[in-house]
Amino acid sequence: MDEVLTIPHIEDKPSADHCTPLLFYKNVCANYFRKNNPLLGHLLEFLIVLYAFAGLALSADHMCNSMETLCDHWKIPEDVGGASFMAFGNSVPEITVNAIATA
C-alpha cells in the first residue's frame, strides 16, 4: 500500500496536456509557417482577422437590435438610447477591468 506518486516532468516541447494559445502561436504560427510556408502563415493570419471582424459585426448588430428593443420598450427616442446605451456598452470593458483590478 506504499505507493509513490510522482509528478510528470514538463518538457520544453508542448504536448496535449500543456497546450496554451501562446504555445500554439509560438510553435505553429510563428515558427512553422515562417520557416516552411510564409504564404500559408499570412493566409492563416488573414483568416483570423476576418473571423474577428465577423464576430465584431455580429455582436454590433445584436447590440443595435437590443438597443432598439430597449428604446421601444421604455418609449425613449433612439437618439437618446444611442447616446446612453451605446456609450455604456462601449465602456463596459474598461469598467470590468477597473472593477477587477481594484477588488
Tell if the pTM clears 0.85, that is, is over it. no
Judge whether 91 lies within some domain.
yes
The total number of structural domains in the chain stands at: 1
Angular region, 75: left φ>0, alpha ψ -120 to 50, beta rest: left
103, pLDDT greater than 80: no
Judge whether 21 lies within some domain.
yes
pLDDT in tens, 11-21: 555 455 566 77
| Cell numbers linked to 24 | 500554439
Judge whether 64 lies within some domain.
yes
| Cell numbers linked to 29 | 504560427
Residue ranges making up the domain that contains 80: 17-102
pLDDT in tens, 49-82: 999 999 989 988 888 888 899 999 999 998 998 8
Judge whether 51 lies within some domain.
yes
Judge whether 22 lies within some domain.
yes
On whether the CB atoms of residues 10 and 18 are closer than 8 A, the answer is yes
What is the model's pLDDT at position 15? 53
